[in-house]
Chains A and B, each alone.
Chain A
Amino acid sequence: MALNRKIAHIDLASHQVEVCHIPYEWRRKFLSGRGLGAYLLFRNLTRGCDPLKPPNCAVISTGILGATGAGFFECAGVATKSPLTRLVTFFPVFGGFAGEMRWAGYDHLIITGKAKHPIFLCIRNGEIELRDGKRLTGKSAPESFAIIRKDLKDDDIRAILIDPPGEDRIGLSGIITDCGWSSGKTGLGSVLNSKNIKGIVCRGGLDLEVKHPSKLLSYYKELFDRFVGSSDWSFKTDPFMPEAPSSFTGEELIAHSQWGMKMPRMEINEMIADSLGLCNFFSSDRTPIHSIGAIFHNLIQMASGLEISESDLIDIAFRCRAIERLLDIRETSVDENLRKTSSSGIMKKDYRNFSEFYRENGWDKRSLVKLRVLKTLEIDELWPLMR
């Protein structure tokens, strides 16, 4: 099945790796990728920790649709507490890393603690090895990738690596993949460096079973022809929706089925795409936003056999966004530095705008942090961690 991949808890301080299965309940509630990544981060992050200290935790996740033929739309992602904003962050990692991680047997890697000396993680066919990475210190990403490739004597490895800016703990330092994609913006490189990790290397040959392979392939072919094959991506030429409403935008607010929270449709689509392990481009403003729910439903059904309706997908997006927001609220309430910056200078105006947006749509502290709300969202097991 496409769902038999596992979670690995990697404790760098004690060099111990704990592997566990992903319960079906979690798949139904959070899919995987960004959604389940945020949930795992919530459960494993020490409250109010410094982002560049060992208690911080980095969750690397891929989605259900990784390695099922999504090809150039595939992405993995890293969720952690950012040293730049001191809030929870998620940033996608493009390239072949996502697929290779699934073939190596894992959907999520939870990395905590700090290694004694520089290391790199080597994941091959379900086995996780912590290898010595002292030689990679001070090397750029392509240089260290060449060294690793020579070490492992394998040309087909996929890797994410950090650069000298990550070693200098610059707030904008990123993660570089083997083929040159970079995931920066929120200082992911410095977080990995604070754990003494120089890179994560994947190589796998484990079978990934797909529910309906031939159906899935013909559906992908149809989608790719539409996205890539046609140069004109306007609504009129969309074969799926011949009569597209002209006034339709991604800004339209969608309400939760049971509770008064609202979220722009664009953000819902992005959240689901990230949770499935597809890149944001899949739900960008150029694609028909109103038919994308049906596309996601079909893809999940064909790849994994899970029956998740469109309204359930919207609920999942709300649930995952709420977890990220709750984590932000929790960290803000503890972190003194963050409160100082948010109440002074330029940040103040932005902060006020955001708070207005959040208050209007029910995302602020007063209306979100309630046991009743968490029960509606089916995440009440996180309530003890909030307090």
Chain B
Amino acid sequence: MNSKLVVADPIKCTGCGECQTVCSLSQCGVSNPALSRIRIVNRQHEGLYIPVSCQQCEDAPCMAVCPKEAIYRDQLFNRVMINYDRCISCRMCISACPFGAMGFDSKAQKIFKCNLCDGNPQCVNFCYPKSLSYVEPERIPYSRLRYFASTYIGIRRSRNALLQGQ
């Protein structure tokens, strides 16, 4: 069983949009950011770009709201999946999702959501600023922890150097 998750760090995101192109290419075979499972919320005037994708919630609202029980939890990759044989495209899950991570393909008349690319997320592979990462849940805070530790050590070192200089 694989319990890894895609985690986004908005501070590192540069808003290049490569993940959107790559996601639509690998999932649908066409390039179109509207079909991407991951979306960049563009707050350019504030200098912020926020990647949003399905968080694979433990108690998923989309799963709870589905009238046909077409959304289920796949234990193999610890993800929430859609059973298209049962899905009636009622779009209730879109209104229920608190992140807006569900999408609707108007051409195929189908709901879509992130499926973690069966354990090899392409958005993470192509994220060169390293904003997205695919990690175990217990390792999620590690990058921030390490960043804090390095700044702390840097301050300590410079302070020691100052004291020795005196």
Task: List chain A positions with a Cβ less than 8 A from chain B.
Answer: 67-69, 71-72, 96, 99, 103, 142, 146, 149, 155-156, 178-179, 205-210, 213-214, 216-217, 220-221, 224, 228-229
Give A71 to B43 CA distance when docked, in angstroms: 20
Q: A71-B16, A207-B30, A228-B128 are in contact. Are A178 and B22 (CB under 8 A)?
A: no
Interface string of B13-32 (1 = CB under 8 A from A): 00111100110011001111
Query: In the complex, are the beta carbons of A208 and B126 less than 8 A apart?
Result: no
Query: In the complex, are the beta carbons of A68 and B31 less than 8 A apart?
Result: yes
Interface string of B24-50 (1 = CB under 8 A from A): 011001111111000001111100000
Query: In the complex, are the beta carbons of B25 and A210 less than 8 A apart?
Result: yes
Give A216 to B30 CA distance when docked, in angstroms: 12
Per the 8 Å Cβ criterion, residues 93-134 of B in contact with A are: 107, 122, 125-126, 128
B31 is contacted by which of A96, A149, A156, A208 (Cβ under 8 Å)?
A: A208
Provide the residues of chain A in CB contact with B45, threshold 8 Å.
142, 146, 149
- Write 9 A-B pairs (CB below 8 A) sorted by A numbering: A69-B25, A69-B126, A71-B16, A142-B45, A205-B33, A210-B31, A213-B30, A217-B26, A221-B126
Provide the residues of chain A in CB contact with B41, threshold 8 Å.
155
Query: In the complex, are the beta carbons of A205 and B44 less than 8 A apart?
Result: no
Looking at the assembled complex, report how far the CB atom of A282 sits from the nearest CB atom of chain B, in whole angstroms.
15
User: Which partner residue on chain A sits nearest B22 by CB separation?
Assistant: A69
Give A209 to B15 CA distance when docked, in angstroms: 23
Q: A69-B22, A155-B44 are in contact. Are A96 and B17 (CB under 8 A)?
A: yes
A213 is contacted by which of B26, B34, B43 (Cβ under 8 Å)?
A: B26
Provide the residues of chain A in CB contact with B128, threshold 8 Å.
72, 224, 228-229
Q: A146-B45, A178-B44, A221-B126 are in contact. Are A213 and B29 (CB under 8 A)?
A: yes
Query: In the complex, are the beta carbons of B126 and A71 less than 8 A apart?
Result: yes
Give A205 to B107 CA distance when docked, in angstroms: 12
Provide the residues of chain A in CB contact with B107, threshold 8 Å.
207
Q: A96-B17, A217-B122, A221-B125 are in contact. Are A179 and B30 (CB under 8 A)?
A: no
Query: In the complex, are the beta carbons of B31 and A67 less than 8 A apart?
Result: yes
The 3 closest A-B pairs by CB, nearest first: A71-B18, A205-B34, A208-B31
Query: In the complex, are the beta carbons of A69 and B16 less than 8 A apart?
Result: no
Provide the residues of chain B in CB contact with A103, threshold 8 Å.
31-33
Give A210 to B30 CA distance when docked, in angstroms: 6
Give A214 to B24 CA distance when docked, in angstroms: 11
Provide the residues of chain A in CB contact with B125, threshold 8 Å.
221
Looking at the assembled complex, report how far the CB atom of B126 sits from the nearest CB atom of chain A, in whole angstroms.
7
Looking at the assembled complex, report how far the CB atom of B156 sits from the nearest CB atom of chain A, in whole angstroms.
28
Query: In the complex, are the beta carbons of A99 and B42 less than 8 A apart?
Result: no
Provide the residues of chain B in CB contact with A156, threshold 8 Å.
33, 42
Looking at the assembled complex, report how far the CB atom of B13 sits from the nearest CB atom of chain A, in whole angstroms.
13
User: Which partner residue on chain A sits nearest B125 by CB separation?
Assistant: A221
Give A155 to B122 CA distance when docked, in angstroms: 25
Query: In the complex, are the beta carbons of B42 and A155 less than 8 A apart?
Result: yes
Per the 8 Å Cβ criterion, residues 31-74 of B in contact with A are: 31-35, 41-45
Give A69 to B125 CA distance when docked, in angstroms: 13
Give A155 to B41 CA distance when docked, in angstroms: 8
Query: In the complex, are the beta carbons of A208 and B30 less than 8 A apart?
Result: yes
Give A149 to B43 CA distance when docked, in angstroms: 11
Give A155 to B45 CA distance when docked, in angstroms: 10
Provide the residues of chain B in CB contact with A149, threshold 8 Å.
45
Interface string of B122-157 (1 = CB under 8 A from A): 100110100000000000000000000000000000
Query: In the complex, are the beta carbons of A72 and B30 less than 8 A apart?
Result: no
Give A71 to B126 CA distance when docked, in angstroms: 9
Query: In the complex, are the beta carbons of B29 and A67 less than 8 A apart?
Result: no
Query: In the complex, are the beta carbons of B44 and A209 less than 8 A apart?
Result: no
Looking at the assembled complex, report how far the CB atom of B153 sits from the nearest CB atom of chain A, in whole angstroms.
23
User: Which partner residue on chain A sits nearest B30 by CB separation?
Assistant: A207
Q: A71-B126, A72-B16 are in contact. Are A210 and B21 (CB under 8 A)?
A: no
User: Which partner residue on chain A sits nearest B45 by CB separation?
Assistant: A146
User: Which partner residue on chain B sits nearest A149 by CB separation?
Assistant: B45
